[in-house]
């Protein structure tokens, strides 16, 4: 087969051609001059590993790459002494050279494990065991859902591509138990976007049916996941296929249909996963006026009342939006009915408008490009609306630097859903969103791309359409604040999110210098504004935007991140905790120095993250409050303030100069 010509070759093919030449030069270079030649190979490997379809050509060339001396003089030159425990530190290091060496070494070991490459110093069984340990120790990176650390990781795409290739190469058998635990941990947060999780469940199902893979005692937890997707009821247990299941439904009596409905509702609420069979069933019983639709949705008396009051609207939503390809929105529909938000006078009319909305060509194209063309774009968008109204804390920013926009969408879905649908209508129908900043009109169409240079491709349908507009407006509001003496979020957050955002503003750092600015006073003010013991037992009425200084598992500063505080209260152990929304798709993160974010087990509601108040305060750097409700700062214990401040100084604030309090001499 002739190699592609320069004129016809794609980007990956051209990089591969350049890599082959660079490897040849490296092999021919004398030892004392190899460093320059190796850096050329390294740069090409970096670009290839991050490109779609670029990993396989590298794996096919690892023997030549090693023989040329790429690993010479490094720890990776001795694969027999490499330690799986050290891989995670390398992949999180941010050092491009080390990460490329590690990723290339992983592909080398994968080639050895698959007997594609004989290595004199490591056997295929050793390589296989090593890679299994690496995967088990890096499950979070396998399930990467756009964490703040991953977005700040230069080589994030390359790492994910390589790990995925390793997973496909060695299978899930040795890491199945850890994968199942990780899936349940993600599902406990009830995110809207579950494509990655469903893909993993499918892979687990294939492993369980592979006679060559010993899954040990992990079968039970996997069965619950697999049955939730592929066999949640008696008539779907053997995964007969959608066409066969439709035929079975037509032959069922009322008792059998009732059993199916109950099984669907239980499986959905147990796992948060929705089976495509569930969509087939719900469409089949949609026009019936008995209890079957409510049973299939797993509704309580609250949800049943809403369904009865808005039966025609619910039927239309099911008819229009619920299909096997969009089955996950059934869970959103059930939770939307349980929330009772249809009783808001403006919401039902807004949903009727959404049902009949004509999308602009730009919105249609971006939806089709992201979700495919099996269904009209308007159907995907409507399904996304249903999911978001049912799961306002389930929306995520994906692998995009758009935490501000995701937070706004979540807060609107929670607090002001009819406004969210109005803004979406402008974006989807008119390809324009107009907002005002201190009385001045801002139109999204007149602005250049914001932080996200291209439409987000790993988020829900509503976010795909709306986030680019919000992102541009958010940055433009920031430009209007240029020259003001304080952080622009002081003015941007209330204008972007809504009237309920407190006009009081506190920040822990001096914007101009980056120094800590009366850090203990900042923490004391937070306690007085939010802690029930020191604010007159005043609960959080509307979610309030706040900013965190995100740190990694070694408590090193990663970046600033937008979150929203939803409530502060006691958990089941009488420990005061802050419950907050994190736009990251996976909010269970280790921020170092014992600060581990909880997503379940401490009285969290679905989608909430939580930390003890002092740990939360140690990572907080800005918050809003009502300036007329300042609480009782003098009542906050000094030891509590100092404990939170000390934890902050050891982590994100390490090395920062600290300004004295205003009244200090």
Q: What one-character-per-residue DSSP string does 94-149 give? A: --HHHHHHHHHHHHHHHHHHTTSS-BTTB-HHHHHHHHHHHHHHTHHHHT----HH
Q: Is residue 43 part of a domain?
A: yes
Number of other residues whose CB lies within 10 A of the CB of residue 660: 9
Q: Cα(404)–Cα(402) distance, rounded to whole angstroms?
A: 5
94: left (phi over 0), alpha (psi -120 to 50) or beta: left
CB under 8 Å, gap of 24 or more: what pairs does 7-12 form?
Answer: 11/51, 12/48, 12/51, 12/52, 12/53, 12/54, 12/57
Q: Is residue 449 part of a domain?
A: yes
The two tokens of residue 592 are 């170092």
Say what the pLDDT of residue 99 is: 93
Greater model confidence, 315 or 586 = 315
- Nearest in space to 372 (alpha carbons), one of 324, 314, 422: 324
Phi, psi of 421 (to 5 degrees): -70, -30
What secondary structure, in 3-state letters, does 398-435 show?
Answer: CCCCCHHHHHHHHHHHHHCHHHHHHHHHHHHHHCCCEE
Say what the pLDDT of residue 175 is: 72
CA 561 to chain centroid: 14
- The residue from 480, 510, 526 where one domain ends is 480
**pLDDT tens by residue, 132-143:** 878 877 766 765
Mean pLDDT of 430-436: 96
Say what the pLDDT of residue 665 is: 42
Q: What is the mean pLDDT of the chain?
A: 90
pLDDT band at 212 (very low <50, low <70, confident <90, very high): low
Collapsing DSSP states into helix, strand and coil, what is residue 627? coil
Say what the pLDDT of residue 451 is: 66
265 in the same domain as 149 = no
Q: Is residue 224 part of a domain?
A: no
pLDDT band at 34 (very low <50, low <70, confident <90, very high): confident
Say what the pLDDT of residue 342 is: 97
Q: Is residue 522 part of a domain?
A: yes
649 in the same domain as 507 = yes
- The residue from 317, 342, 367 where one domain ends is 342
The DSSP call for residue 596 is B
The pLDDT of residue 1 is above 70: no
- State what percent of residues in the chain have pLDDT above 90: 68
Say what the pLDDT of residue 546 is: 97
348 in the same domain as 431 = yes
β-pair type (576-581, 609-612): antiparallel
441 in the same domain as 325 = no
**pLDDT tens by residue, 639-658:** 999 999 999 999 999 989 88
Mean pLDDT of 148-174: 74
Q: Cα(50)–Cα(432) distance, rounded to whole angstroms?
A: 33
Q: Is residue 196 part of a domain?
A: no
Say what the pLDDT of residue 663 is: 64
Mean pLDDT of 513-542: 96
Q: Cα(167)–Cα(135) distance, rounded to whole angstroms?
A: 8
Which range has the top average pLDDT, 160-174, 213-227, 529-543?
529-543
526 in the same domain as 426 = no
The pLDDT of residue 6 is above 50: no
Helices (H), 481-516: 489-497
463 in the same domain as 353 = yes
Of 182-191, 355-364, 611-620, give the lowest mean pLDDT range: 182-191
654 in the same domain as 530 = yes
pLDDT band at 187 (very low <50, low <70, confident <90, very high): very high
Say what the pLDDT of residue 145 is: 47
Residues 154 and 402: beta-carbon distance below 8 Å = no
Q: Is residue 187 part of a domain?
A: no
Residues 269 and 236: beta-carbon distance below 8 Å = no
The pLDDT of residue 148 is above 60: no
pLDDT band at 2 (very low <50, low <70, confident <90, very high): very low
Of 12-26, 122-136, 215-229, 356-370, give the lowest mean pLDDT range: 215-229
143 in the same domain as 23 = yes
Say what the pLDDT of residue 499 is: 95
Q: Is residue 242 part of a domain?
A: no
Say what the pLDDT of residue 126 is: 82
Q: Is residue 219 part of a domain?
A: no
Could you tell me where the beta strands, DSSP code E, fall in 457-523? 504-507, 516-517
Task: Please give the span between the terminal C-alpha atoms of the chain, in angstroms, as a whole number.
Answer: 80
Q: Could you tell me the residue range of the domain that residue 381 belongs to?
A: 344-480
pLDDT band at 179 (very low <50, low <70, confident <90, very high): confident
Q: Which residues contact 245 (CB under 8 A, 6 or more apart)?
A: 235, 236, 277, 280, 281
CA 220 to chain centroid: 27
536 in the same domain as 473 = no
- Nearest in space to 582 (alpha carbons), one of 362, 393, 386: 393
Greater model confidence, 122 or 461 = 461
pLDDT band at 569 (very low <50, low <70, confident <90, very high): very high
Mean pLDDT of 163-179: 77
Which H or E element spans position 87? helix 84-91
Mean pLDDT of 297-322: 97
| Structural domains in the chain (count) | 4
Say what the pLDDT of residue 378 is: 98
pTM of the entire predicted model? 0.81
The pLDDT of residue 238 is above 90: yes
355 in the same domain as 330 = no
Compute the Cα dihedral for 351, 567, 632, 548 and give only its sign.
Answer: negative
- The residue from 286, 312, 342 where one domain ends is 342
With tokens 């008696």, the residue in question is 234
Mean pLDDT of 600-610: 96
Say what the pLDDT of residue 189 is: 94
619 in the same domain as 527 = yes
Say what the pLDDT of residue 140 is: 64
Mean pLDDT of 195-207: 82
Mean pLDDT of 420-442: 97
510 in the same domain as 397 = no
């Amino acid at each position: 087969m002739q190699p592609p010509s320069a004129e016809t070759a794609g980007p990956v093919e051209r990089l591969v051609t350049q890599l082959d030449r660079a490897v040849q030069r490296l092999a021919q270079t004398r030892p004392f001059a190899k460093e320059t030649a190796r850096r050329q190979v390294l740069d090409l490997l970096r670009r290839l590993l991050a490109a779609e379809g670029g990993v396989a050509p590298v794996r096919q060339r690892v023997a030549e790459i090693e023989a040329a001396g790429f690993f010479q003089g490094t720890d990776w030159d001795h694969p027999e002494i490499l330690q799986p425990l050290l891989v995670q530190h390398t992949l999180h290091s941010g050092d491009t050279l080390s990460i490329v060496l590690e990723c290339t070494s992983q592909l080398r070991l994968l080639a050895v494990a698959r007997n594609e490459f004989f290595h004199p110093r490591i056997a295929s069984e050793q390589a296989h065991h090593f890679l299994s340990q690496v995967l088990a120790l890096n499950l979070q990176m396998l399930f990467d859902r756009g964490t703040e650390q991953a977005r700040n990781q230069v080589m994030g795409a390359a790492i994910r591509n390589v790990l995925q290739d390793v997973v496909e190469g060695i299978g899930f058998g040795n890491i199945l138990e850890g994968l199942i635990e990780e899936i349940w941990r993600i599902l406990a947060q009830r995110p809207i976007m579950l494509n990655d999780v469903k893909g993993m469940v499918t892979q687990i199902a294939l492993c369980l049916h592979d006679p060559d893979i010993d899954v040990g005692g992990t079968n039970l937890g996997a069965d619950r996941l697999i049955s939730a997707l592929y066999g949640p009821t008696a008539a779907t247990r053997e995964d007969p296929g959608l066409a066969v299941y439709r035929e079975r439904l037509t032959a069922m009596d009322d008792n059998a249909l009732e059993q199916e409905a109950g099984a669907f509702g239980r499986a959905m609420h147990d796992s948060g996963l929705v089976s495509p069979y569930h969509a087939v069933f719900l469409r089949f019983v949609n026009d019936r006026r008995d209890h079957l639709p409510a049973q299939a949705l797993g509704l309580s008396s609250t949800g049943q009342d809403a369904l009865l009051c808005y039966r025609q609207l619910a039927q239309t939503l099911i008819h229009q939006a619920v299909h096997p390809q969009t089955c996950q929105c059934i869970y959103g529909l059930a939770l939307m009915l349980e929330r009772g938000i249809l009783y808001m006078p403006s919401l039902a009319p807004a949903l009727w408008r959404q049902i009949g909305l004509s999308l602009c060509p730009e919105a249609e194209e971006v939806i089709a490009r992201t979700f495919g063309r099996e269904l009209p774009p308007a159907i995907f968008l409507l399904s996304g609306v249903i999911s978001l109204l049912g799961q306002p804390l389930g929306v995520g920013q994906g692998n995009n630097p758009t935490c501000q926009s995701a937070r706004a969408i979540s807060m609107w879905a929670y607090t002001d859903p009819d406004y969210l649908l109005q803004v979406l209508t402008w974006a989807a129908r008119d390809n324009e969103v107009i907002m005002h900043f201190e009385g001045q009109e801002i139109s999204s169409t007149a602005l250049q791309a914001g932080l996200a240079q291209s439409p987000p491709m790993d988020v829900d349908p509503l976010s795909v359409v709306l986030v680019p507009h919000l992102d541009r407006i958010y940055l433009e509001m920031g430009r209007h604040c240029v020259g003001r003496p304080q952080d622009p979020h002081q003015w941007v957050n209330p204008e972007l999110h809504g009237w309920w955002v407190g006009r009081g503003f506190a920040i822990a750092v001096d914007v101009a210098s980056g120094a800590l600015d009366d850090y203990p006073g900042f923490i004391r003010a937070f306690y007085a504004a939010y802690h029930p013991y020191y604010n007159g037992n005043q609960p959080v009425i509307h979610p309030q935007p706040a900013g965190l200084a995100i740190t990694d598992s070694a408590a090193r500063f990663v970046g600033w991140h937008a979150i929203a505080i939803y409530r502060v209260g006691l958990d089941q152990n009488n420990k005061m905790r802050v419950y907050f929304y994190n736009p990251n798709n996976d909010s269970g993160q280790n921020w170092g120095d014992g600060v581990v974010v909880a997503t379940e087990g401490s009285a969290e509601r679905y989608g909430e993250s939580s930390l003890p108040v002092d740990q939360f305060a140690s990572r907080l750097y800005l918050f809003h409050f009502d300036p007329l409700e300042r609480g009782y700062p003098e009542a906050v214990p000094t030891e509590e303030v100092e404990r939170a401040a000390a934890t902050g100084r050891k982590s994100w604030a390490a090395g920062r100069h600290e300004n004295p309090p205003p009244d200090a001499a």
